């Protein structure tokens, strides 16, 4: 389960960074009018409208991957067995001694000087 979590988390981070990159590469709505009059669109790799279609479809696919990995990570986090948050739950149990709880003072102790 730990390996699956690591793989999905890595895919999630890669998809998130890729979505950011593809969104930043896309042209805004105002850039379409300038591209219609030939301002740099002919020199693009995918042609005048090919880059918009490719980038928008790639962004949509990566957004879907990001959404699915988000759901998968939340499922993995909630389906793992609950571990108690208390340190005392896992502490070893110590039994009390059967005899009296008083211990005799050490011979060189000043406990004799204290009045009772």
Can you spell out the DSSP letters for 24-53? HHS--TTHHHHHHTTSSSTTSSS-TTHHHH
Residues in the chain: 116
Can you spell out the DSSP letters for 96-108? PPSS-S--PPPTT
The pLDDT value recorded for residue 92 is: 79
The pLDDT value recorded for residue 101 is: 59
* Residue ranges of domains in the chain: 2-27+40-80
pLDDT-based confidence at 1, cuts 50/70/90?
confident
- What confidence tens digit (pLDDT) does each residue in 49-90 have? 555 688 889 999 999 999 999 999 999 988 877 666 677 777
pLDDT at residue 110 greater than cutoff 90: no
């Amino acid at each position: 389960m730990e390996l699956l979590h690591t793989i999905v988390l890595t895919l999630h981070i890669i998809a998130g960074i890729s979505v950011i990159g593809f969104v930043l590469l896309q042209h805004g709505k105002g850039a379409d009018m300038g591209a219609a009059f030939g301002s740099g669109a002919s020199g693009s790799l995918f042609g005048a409208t090919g880059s918009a279609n490719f980038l928008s479809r790639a962004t949509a696919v990566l957004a879907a991957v990001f959404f699915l990995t988000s759901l998968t990570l939340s499922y993995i986090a909630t389906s793992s067995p609950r571990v108690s948050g208390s340190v005392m739950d896992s502490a070893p149990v110590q039994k009390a001694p059967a005899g009296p709880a008083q211990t005799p003072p050490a011979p060189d102790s000043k406990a004799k000087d204290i009045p009772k």
